Amino acid sequence: MDISDYSYVVVGSGLAGAVLAERIATKVGKPVLVLEKRGHIGGNCYSTNDRETGIEYHAYGTHIFHTSDEKVWNYIRQFTTFNNYQHRVLSSHQGKIYQFPINLETINHFYGVNLKPFEVEGFMAGVRDPSITEPANFEEKALSLIGRDLYEAFFKHYTIKQWQVDPRTLPASIFNRLPFRKNYVDNYFFDKWQGIPEKGYTRVFENLLADKKIRVLLNTDFFALRDRIRKDACLIYSGPIDRYFDYKYGKLSWRTLRFEQETLPMEDYQGNSVVNYPGAEVRYTRIHEPRHLHPEREFTRDKTIIFREYSLHDQGDNPYYPIASAENQRLLALYQQEAVRLPNVFITGRLGDYKYYDMHHTIARSLEIFENGVLPLITANHAV
């Protein structure tokens, strides 16, 4: 089949695109063309084995699958089993390791006290900033909840490194992403289901895209062959929304990550999959050690691999996180107004929706587009 023969074209083989390609191929039963700019499938979920050590790692940063959405869970389990990994994060402050997000162990260790859960509230009342009654930004929110010492140790510099802006310019809602716990619970997520695909993320994508009706073209830029795609094709576009419209209103800004890999001559470097480095003394924000994501696997005992994570803004061609500024929201609204006028085009995914989706959000969104966008479109076209 030639490119111009396909009635269903999916741009991007990340989670948003792969789920929709799977739904269309298996439920509509029509050929689907998937165009992938990179040399691999899976988008930023892509995982691969390190050549030297055989340790599987997530090339675009540690991805933990977690959801409480039964529909999403039942859907994804058709394509993978999950191991029993539970995400716990540690934070390194002045050479000492603390549990993170802040819980009772963090507070006791940090202040050298031995509080009981029911004593935390009274203690925190003494360290909080009582003058902030209506916190208007990230910093004020932090000071009003945990006080200056914990804020400066664990949040301030991490946030500056991560967002490269003054924390007083960030919304208080970003601080709310993290819980503050008065007990010893140290799970990062509270979802009903959690884990890492037992055979890795890339295998999940191979399974999603396994149907013979799906044809994936790697190293293929949609914009280079856009003219050859049928004008009436159902197009699923999961790339950046501003790029789709040739940046006509201007560019949305993105936060990007850079990873520096190192192989070390020991079995275990840090004893955990992720350790945060919230201090100003190092430029990276965290260190990932992927062997810990698969406690069920036997890896080499001689070596381990680690990845130092650095945050960048608008550099390279690898957008990760939308930046929630008023200007970006204004641009996004302009692009979205254009997008709704294209009945057979669905712009989606983290890049298309310009939303900070976790993986389970992306799956839910793709299932929703299939049911409430693609299927009605087919019905409407048949009716004509």
Q: Which residues are catalytic?
A: 177, 181, 255, 286, 309, 356, 358
Q: Tokens 């948003």 label which residue?
A: 16
Mapping DSSP to helix (H, G, I), strand (E, B) and coil, where does residue 224 land? helix
Distance CA 115, CA 212 (A): 60
Distance (Å) of CA 119 to CA 34, 107, 128, 138, 183: 57, 11, 15, 26, 11
Nearer to ligand UDP, 254 or 370 (CB): 254
List beta partners, residue 197: 82
Among 115-123, 154-162, 346-354, 365-373, the segment contacting ligand UDP (CB under 6 A) = 154-162
Q: Which of 162, 202, 238, 366 binds ligand UDP (CB under 6 A)?
A: 162
- Between residue 248 and residue 277, which ones bind ligand UDP under the rule CB under 6 A? 276
Distance CA 326, CA 318 (A): 22
- Please report whether residue 100 would count as binding ligand UDP according to CB under 6 A: yes
- Please report whether residue 177 would count as binding ligand UDP according to CB under 6 A: yes
Nearer to ligand UDP, 97 or 377 (CB): 97
Nearer to ligand UDP, 174 or 214 (CB): 174
Distance CA 354, CA 365 (A): 13
- Please report whether residue 155 would count as binding ligand UDP according to CB under 6 A: yes
Strands 32-35 and 274-276 come out as unpaired
- Please report whether residue 106 would count as binding ligand UDP according to CB under 6 A: no
- Please report whether residue 158 would count as binding ligand UDP according to CB under 6 A: yes
Cβ-contact 256, 320 below 8 angstroms: yes
Task: Please state the closest distance from residue 100 (CB atom) to ligand UDP, in A.
Answer: 6
Distance CA 73, CA 59 (A): 24
Task: Please state the closest distance from residue 235 (CB atom) to ligand UDP, in A.
Answer: 30
Task: Please state the closest distance from residue 89 (CB atom) to ligand UDP, in A.
Answer: 7
Cβ-contact 47, 58 below 8 angstroms: yes
Residues forming the site for ligand UDP (CB under 6 A): 91, 100, 154-155, 158-159, 162, 174, 177-178, 276, 278
